[in-house]
Structure 1
């Protein structure tokens, strides 16, 4: 009861307050979207009351839209022009999704009690990758390449060493999870350096043959 009273006080003074005390929650629904497409997020509840307040939030903090009793929906400035309202009450359509829009979208009901009425984990297709050779050093019997696999928000750097017949990657395959939750991998297959960016929706890839930059391998990896 104490938590509910405190929450109501915050409603009076600041309707943008981010609430952290809930009496219930819903299962997270995975949603996969192609880049540039729209997605509609529905609430998982019926039987709303006239004085209910509903917030849609992105990654638990950023408010997207506020539904207040007797008023038109209030869209946060950063989402202006990107939010539409389908026929179903309290549902929202987000337009032109980009990779940075990947994350968890939560609808929170504030009425007689506070509860989560929708939670969607949205994954947008990955951005292109670029594989670059940062430096090359060679001797009579070996060639050392420093290469970087990069996306718009992450990168991996690794070193590849070649002799006249084979190449190997120091430490083996390198990988990481990007800030948007995708997988970024940098690995070697025979004499081909591979840069791969993928998630559940799509993948992009860039490759380079070591023979393009390492004189010792010239002609060894032509197909």
Structure 2
């Protein structure tokens, strides 16, 4: 196999999956989803384009059910996988909620508990004087929830592996 990679996209976006350039001589070239060519594949009607010059496959209006393994197979003198992509279609990230709780202590000092929450994921950190613990948790699907303090800023962040588009 010449090309293999993980690809992350948001639901509703598009993705172009390319073959190795240039493709060696072949008799047949076929894109396969999850190593099968049956009707269990997602409904692509009106959402797929095949480029007959570059042999790339473009999927539009991505749905979570489009997640899976995409291979392009070339047959000829020998059958081989020309490219392989593991596509993960993710929901956009929601904004996390930050909740600070102040605990008064003796001698004018205080302790703050910070909680960063989004859906079923939550992390907390306690700050005493100027020291706060940085926390991070990774959920299934490589979604990261992090909590950090830098100077007078408290940062509660949720991210996923989908690259930002400009």
TM range (shorter): 0.5 to 0.7
The separation in 2 between residues aligned to 1:122 and 1:146, in whole angstroms, is 35
Match of 1:161 in 2: 127
Provide structure 1 residue ranges, at least 5 long, that are not aligned to the other structure. 1-24, 68-73, 204-223
Match of 2:134 in 1: 173
Q: Does 1:48 align with 2:26?
A: yes
User: Could you state the TM-score of these two structures normalised by the residue count of structure 1?
Assistant: 0.49
Match of 2:101, SS? strand
Alpha-carbon deviation of 1:146?
4.3
Structure having the larger proportion of residues in strand: 2
Q: Does 1:106 align with 2:71?
A: yes
User: Which digits, 9 at most, give the CA deviation of each residue in 1:117-150, with x for residues without a partner?
Assistant: 11346687962431332x7362344244241243
Alpha-carbon deviation of 1:194?
0.5
Alpha-carbon deviation of 1:115?
2.2
Match of 2:116, SS? strand
Match of 1:76, SS? coil
Q: CA RMSD in A?
A: 4.2
Which protein shows a greater Rg? 1
Structure having the larger proportion of residues in helix: 1
Match of 1:216 in 2: none
Match of 2:104 among 120, 136, 139: 139
Match of 2:163 in 1: 201
Match of 1:96 among 61, 65, 68: 61
User: Could you state the TM-score of these two structures normalised by the residue count of structure 2?
Assistant: 0.61
Count of matched residue positions in the alignment of Structure 1 and Structure 2: 158
